[in-house]
Amino acid sequence: MGPLRLLAIDTATEACSVAVDTADGGVLEEYVVAINAHSQLLLPMIQRVLDRVDCTLADVGAIACGVGPGGFTGVRIGVSTAQALAIARGLPVYPVSSLQALAATVPRPQVLAALDARRGEVYAGVFRQDAQAIPRLQGVEKVCAPEAVNWPATGHWWGLGTGWQVYHAHWRDAGVLGWSGDSFPRAGAVLRLARARIQAGDRGIAPVLLEPHYIRPSLSEEGRQ
């Protein structure tokens, strides 16, 4: 049997994606934008990517998961699926920020990542690549009104994510070379980020410790406060 595989999942946004590393060190990914269908799509997608690399879950040695921020239902689907698979197999898990995964989808050294959070808000994070081309968060991720985002006013930045598509008019003063508003986090990026952590000696966490990264409370939680 060859080396154990790394399986990655991201369902935090309108996109649903699954990825697995290949024998030659590459990444095989299945990706689809399908609103409100993640729970039906995810397990068949996992089976298909494993079939395509001639593997089963028994060949998986760790699971990486995009944990948000993003849609509450989508985040829960990905986290609960990763958790269940990891518990069943006794595997470590690697939680990955969906904003960091978004920033890792483009070969840009400096990214202003923004996802539409609905309710007139955005999830936002500023990322700069390190020497290994891994996007590192500068400051903290936040959820706020678009006009409250303090993007850098100077520098060679790239705007990325659905937040830019919806709210770019609010951010004319940001120091961006350009922006792409139709981008979502992808499992392939989640996998690459987790793989870099594994190579650096990170052993992941126990699956029972895997939690969604919502940033803000859900509507039902707000109603109880």
Q: What is the CATH number of the domain that holds 110?
A: 3.30.420.40
- Residues 89, 18 within the same domain: yes
Mean pLDDT of the chain: 94
d(CA 180, CA 105): 11
- Residues 35, 58 within the same domain: yes
- Residues 189, 92 within the same domain: yes
d(CA 211, CA 78): 10
Give yes or no for residue 165 having a pLDDT over 90.
yes
d(CA 135, CA 117): 21
pTM score of the predicted model: 0.94
- Residues 201, 146 within the same domain: no
Split at pLDDT 50, 70, 90, the class of 153 is: confident
Task: Determine the number of helices (DSSP H) and then strands (DSSP E) in the chain.
Answer: 6, 10
Give yes or no for residue 31 having a pLDDT over 90.
yes
Domain of residue 87 covers: 5-98+185-224
Exposure of 147 in the CB half-sphere (CA atoms within 13 A) = 1
pLDDT tens digit sequence for 193-213: 999 999 999 999 999 999 999
d(CA 104, CA 184): 10
- Residues 59, 14 within the same domain: yes
Which pLDDT does position 222 carry in this prediction?
44
- Residues 168, 86 within the same domain: no
- Residues 174, 203 within the same domain: no
What percent of the chain stands above pLDDT 70? 95
- Residues 23, 68 within the same domain: yes
pLDDT tens digit sequence for 5-14: 999 999 999 9
What percent of the chain stands above pLDDT 90? 89
**Non-local CB neighbours of 190 within 8 Å, separated by 6+ positions:** 8, 9, 10, 19, 64, 65, 66, 96, 101
pLDDT tens digit sequence for 79-118: 999 999 999 999 999 999 999 999 999 999 999 999 999 9
d(CA 112, CA 104): 11
- Residues 169, 215 within the same domain: no
Phi, psi (degrees; rounded to nearest 5) at 108: -115, 135
Residue with tokens 């923004």: 114
Name the domain count of the chain.
2
Give yes or no for residue 24 having a pLDDT over 90.
yes
The secondary structure of the chain in percent helix, strand, coil, rounded to multiples of 5, reads: 35, 30, 35
- Residues 143, 60 within the same domain: no
